[in-house]
Structure 1
């Protein structure tokens, strides 16, 4: 039997404790009372905020209320909104056909932003197909690592490999979300790490670069950043739930 390729990551300093901390933050946020009565409204608000944050990380930042009002026509913003809306319907397929879902995410994200003949296809000269296949194998059940670890690796690898045209983070962040959803960590897609990545954007950029080096310290830096982003996403869920909450009458 082959060894789990992600198992060594749990032995890196402070990684296991950071996984536990992020898991606890997410669990606490998902117990908010608003999710029992206004769960749909909260989920819609999180979806909007995640899309706005992802677009901003891609260099297309806009005021959230302008996006909510529908006055922002920027194709990348519109793509991020499409991606956020599609995630629940793609979660089940993600673990069965990861590369198919990645192609679909790229089409959703960059329709109108990159040439049509590049949508859903690896960029010309892409030479890391075997590495992308290995990542797909992990998503399809090739690891028993905690979902948080796998999601961070998925995110970091897609940023590093840049398989598609356009800013790679939009698809990478969506794939990380799908990993958390399909694993059961966040089945309703209520935790938006994009919000945490944006809140600590300089750290996000630096940690992604460190991950790309492949060194233990670089990978550890990225994992810790991603777990922090999940915790911040949990705080954002609580904030959205509080704003949505309406006390029952009577």
Structure 2
């Protein structure tokens, strides 16, 4: 995990029932997480979700994919992607990943390694050689450690676990090609599987893109393995989730307007 197999375990010391509990002692982190949770809960009560949940989910998934591809350097306008005129392989991979999340949630919480391989096959098709799809290029032991953290973990707060999953995979980049798409998808799967976003409506990728310089800087800070670095990442992730909640409200308003 983190930059080497000792980083998080060294920071946490003896593993408590919730191995990520000490992260809640970092300054400003609990407040940021609470604000994000409150914003999400408010967004999930939007009246568009009562009868128009399908269109809202489809639009949110589209925006999430476009934002995730943009963070990998494949930038396209949402309207062009919606019109089906963009064939760029990274963007197409991000779309496949976004569409597959609902069917991978249960397996993610039981067999994360298997899901990561599947996500890579979806994200990197047409980008890397077929023989490399689903295959780790490095960091097998660290990915195993992350998988053990995820599988069956019903104690760590969903926002914290999702943030750590994201940052670990973003730092490690264990797959060839668009590994960032996989990191962001795994984080989303954690939020869905742990019940924070059970319908998969939060386009957290949009929040990261809106704060792209902060996203890059906070990920780099996390990779140092210091408490301040981890704190910077957790706060960024909470803010990105708040942005995603605001985006969900915007999508809901647009769907109601089109009725």
Hey, what's the Cα distance between the residues in 1 that align with 2:253 and 2:181? 27
Q: Deviations over 1:23-73 (max 9, x none)?
A: 000010010000001000000000000000000000000011000000000
Shift of residue 162 of structure 1?
1.0
- The equivalent position to 2:130 in structure 1, one of 113, 116, 134, is 116
Q: What are the equivalent positions in structure 2 for 1:29-108 lying under 5 Å apart? A: 29-108=43-122
Q: TM-score, normalised by structure 1?
A: 0.95
Residues 89 and 127 in structure 2, CA contact (< 8 A), matched pair in contact too: yes
CA RMSD, aligned part only?
A: 1.3
Structure 1 runs of 4+ off > 2 angstroms?
A: none
Residues 147 and 183 in structure 1, CA contact (< 8 A), matched pair in contact too: yes
In structure 2, the partner of 1:17 is: 31
Q: Specify whether residues 247 and 115 from structure 1 end up closer, same or farther in structure 2 by C-alpha distance, changes over 3 A only.
A: closer
Q: TM-score, normalised by structure 2?
A: 0.92
Residues 5 and 143 in structure 1, CA contact (< 8 A), matched pair in contact too: no
Shift of residue 78 of structure 1?
0.5
Hey, what's the Cα distance between the residues in 2 that align with 1:228 and 1:213? 21
Shift of residue 131 of structure 1?
1.8
1:150 corresponds to 2:161: yes
Hey, what's the Cα distance between the residues in 2 that align with 1:167 and 1:84? 14
Residues 42 and 244 in structure 1, CA contact (< 8 A), matched pair in contact too: yes
Residues 19 and 227 in structure 1, CA contact (< 8 A), matched pair in contact too: yes
- The equivalent position to 1:174 in structure 2, one of 167, 185, 209, is 185
- Secondary structure at the counterpart of residue 187 of structure 1: coil
Hey, what's the Cα distance between the residues in 2 that align with 1:148 and 1:99? 20
Give the unaligned 5+ runs of structure 2. 1-13
Size of the aligned set, in residue pairs, is: 245
- The equivalent position to 1:237 in structure 2, one of 223, 237, 248, is 248
Hey, what's the Cα distance between the residues in 1 that align with 2:102 and 2:248? 17
Hey, what's the Cα distance between the residues in 2 that align with 1:109 and 1:167? 7
